[in-house]
Structure 1
Amino acid sequence: MTVQFERRTDRPDAEGRCTIHLRAYFEGQRLRLVTREKCLASEWQTDKQRFRRSKQGYQDANDYLDSLAARVQAAYRQLRTSGIEHTPEELKAALAPPAPAEKPKPEPARMLVVLFDEYRTAQSARGMRFNTLKTLNTSRNLVAEFAAKLPKGLTLAAYDMAIHDRLLGFLRHEKKLAQNSIWKVVKHIKAMLAYLNRDRGMPLAVEPKQLKAEWVDVDKVYLTAAELATLEAAKLPVGLVRTRDAFLFCCYTGLRYSDLAELREGNLHDWSGARVLRLTQAKTRTSVSIYLTGTASALLDKYLGEGLRLLQVMANQVMNRNLKEISKRAGLRELVEVGDYRNGQDGQATGAQV
């Protein structure tokens, strides 16, 4: 290949400067390129194909011509060794500057409620217990209700400390949740954010450990035998009788609400002329047998055969609301709540207070 430079004189500019062209000859073909340099006739040495000293910046201009010639030679050699047909067009393409790399498109903002659903699905696949998933879904629904109030919804990137404080205000003042109920929602949010960051590599706007909500110990007042008798004898609308009977059955047997909701006829057994409940507790996964007193057994007989469950229970929130009304109608003004116990220790209260 032979590379030459030529000053074209056919199209001078207003000042009389003409463009320098590159000519490359190879295998009977010719490549012509327009360079970025221009000069007057007095600034160009035709025999040496270089700029004279009279041209301002002549050295840089000559270096540019040398580098351009070297690039053409290198591109030609590359075409020959690669087996690509070396035509002027291919040579021009090889000399063209590379196209700018396409900027990666930013990922669409992920909505927090959608990610909450994905977290719940993942925990279900990993074996989270059914009743725990139910409480997790309650927290998810509260977050969804809060997010619906925001003009642009709630994304993961937007969930910072300021938004968290607004959520706490929503839970406390609009939803009227007690402190321990707020604590449970925050607990679920922290676990969800930790999963998204640790297991899925998603960046967070706030560290989960920064999200604070305090658990408070609540004084519990328990019903006496006389108060239980008052509840038994209270005249109630039909809609409240089922709640009263389910609550009394829990009192007589020591069952948690989560276990009561799962009782089936298969859990009921006869033993030495009496009745026994045999079940695996939802929270502890331990098997227990509970002897039924005559009063407790009579409550089961009242609803036996009405459905798959031994007692027809409603959602925990509805049961708590009904308990308030039942206590008022029965004349009880002390605290009444459904509580959970583990290994004889007082656990988290799941009921309401009146």
Structure 2
Amino acid sequence: MEYDLSILFYTKTSKKDKKGKAPIYCRITVNGGRAEISTNEKTEPDKWDRATQRMKGRSELVKTTNNHLDVIESKIKRLFNRSTEEDEEVSAEMLKDLMIGKRKKRYCLVKIFEENNELTKQQQGQKYSKSTVRQYGTTLKRLKEFLVEKYGKTDLEMDKLDINFIRRFEIFLRTKYKNGDNTAMKYLKQLKKVVHYAIDMGYLDKDPFRSYSTPFSEVNRGYLTADELIKIEEKKFRITRLDQVRDVFVFVCYTGLSYSDLKQLKAGSISKGINGKNWIIYEREKTGVRASIPLLPPAQAILDKYKDDPVCIADGILLPVKSNQKLNSYLSEIAELCEIDKHITMHLGRHTFATTVTLTNGVPIETVQKMLGHKNLSTTQIYSKVVDTKISEDMSKVEDRLKSQTG
């Protein structure tokens, strides 16, 4: 919105004091709306120049008075410019309130979010991982798009945040970006953290999230069975790209690496473990947690296969890792060729390591937690639930067979 500001200094002769001096007032006009404030200055009416809106003369009193009026005018213009730049709704009354200290400074969401993101970035590698810092940046980007599309603004005052704003932002994420439950909740939880940061800093009095829950939905972690994994391992591919993608995927199934960590895998990531064999020892990009993974024979065999690969050598990498999008696309092709009716992705390989390769084979959940690089055991326990479900299903089959034998 365009705003037109006008500032006028004038004397109120009807309020002259006993010495005949009239008080000097300042009239602020914004788009036709008026408000006036006292300058706490006075002058004899015949010493006032209506054209320049200042006192006439060269005395020290005149200079001091006129300087004070200059300061008032500059402050009003500065407040006006700042408010319009921050997309606040500007009015004469608002500027008056700011001038007399009746109105608090109004903090805006995007600026507070940027302040939070800068602090988060400074703590990258200590309190926050690189991926978390990047996620905050993405959340801010989505928020800016939302403000422009739904409010026609580039920023919004913090005190205007309410439950309706949060609800509309969630709907925006679900409709424009087709975000599912957990993805939308990730964005909302980061917004919630910034809101709580604003409250802690005294920028906001009330919490708009107080009655708005942001729960994650329990995800059904897909994984490959031992037979399905073997089927993919033993499948012969004539096309080189499919053979390479299969190898990279199988490597993940036997190491549990996430895509972001797999992409960072270099020769320096492999070292001799306590048993004298090769281990992958690295710090997870997402959590910053140190992870140690002994290389199982199938994983070591894949690394050996590519140790003399010219492309890997030239790029200084251990495996021919393509983009995550391409890998997942080719894995769908591999699933079809192997006649596996599952949506196979790189992340499913990590789930397969947690369930089929480790937990199902009796590896303690605390050990799996350390190999996956999870901060909390509760994250790893999701896979334990999958294994328990599988045990329950298998035992139900045994129970049915026993019943049929005795029947």
Class of the TM-score when normalised by the shorter of the 2 chains:
0.5 to 0.7
- Give yes or no for contact 2:116–2:194 (8 Å, CA) kept in 1: yes
Matched residue, 2:365: none
Question: Structure 1: which 5+ runs fail to align?
Answer: 1-34, 38-63, 76-86, 350-354
Relative distance call for 1:321 and 1:132 in structure 2 (3 A) is farther
Residue identity matched to 2:228: E
Q: Find the residue that maps to 1:124 and give its secondary structure.
A: helix
Larger radius of gyration: 1
Residue 301 of structure 1, aligned match among 297, 301, 304? 304
- Give yes or no for contact 2:267–2:317 (8 Å, CA) kept in 1: yes
Matched residue, 1:68: 19
Q: How does 1:20-169 map to 2 (within 5 A)?
A: 67-68=18-19, 90=59, 93=62, 99=69, 101-102=72-73, 103=76, 104-105=79-80, 106-107=82-83, 108-109=85-86, 116-127=113-124, 128-147=128-147, 149-150=149-150, 152-157=152-157, 160-169=162-171
Q: Find the residue that maps to 1:68 and give its secondary structure.
A: coil
Shift of 1:164: 2.9
Matched residue, 2:181: 179
Q: Find the residue that maps to 1:279 and give its secondary structure.
A: strand
Shift of 1:228: 1.0
Question: Structure 2: which 5+ runs fail to align?
Answer: 1-11, 23-41, 44-55, 88-107, 308-312, 355-368, 383-407
Query: Which is strand-richer, 1 or 2?
Result: 1
Relative distance call for 1:148 and 1:253 in structure 2 (3 A) is same
Q: Find the residue that maps to 1:155 and give its secondary structure.
A: coil
Q: Which structure would you say has the larger RCO, counting Cα contacts within 8 Å and 6 or more residues apart?
A: 2
Q: How many residues align?
A: 276
Q: Find the residue that maps to 1:220 and give its secondary structure.
A: coil
What is the percentage of aligned positions where both structures have the same residue? 25
Residue identity matched to 2:300: S
Structure 2 residue 304 is matched with structure 1 residue 327: no
Structure 2 residue 191 is matched with structure 1 residue 214: no
Q: Find the residue that maps to 2:137 and give its secondary structure.
A: helix
CA distance in 1, matches of 2:113, 2:293: 38
Residue identity matched to 1:263: L
Shift of 1:266: 0.7
Q: Find the residue that maps to 1:260 and give its secondary structure.
A: helix
Query: Which is helix-richer, 1 or 2?
Result: 2
Shift of 1:245: 3.2
Shift of 1:172: 1.8
CA distance in 2, matches of 1:148, 1:322: 38
Shift of 1:238: 5.3
- Please tell me the root mean square deviation across aligned C-alpha atoms, in Å: 4.5
TM value normalised by structure 1:
0.59
Q: Which moved more, 1:339-348 or 1:329-338?
A: 339-348
Matched residue, 1:260: 262
Residue identity matched to 2:257: L
Relative distance call for 1:182 and 1:67 in structure 2 (3 A) is same
Q: Find the residue that maps to 1:253 and give its secondary structure.
A: coil
CA distance in 2, matches of 1:259, 1:123: 21
CA distance in 2, matches of 1:126, 1:328: 45
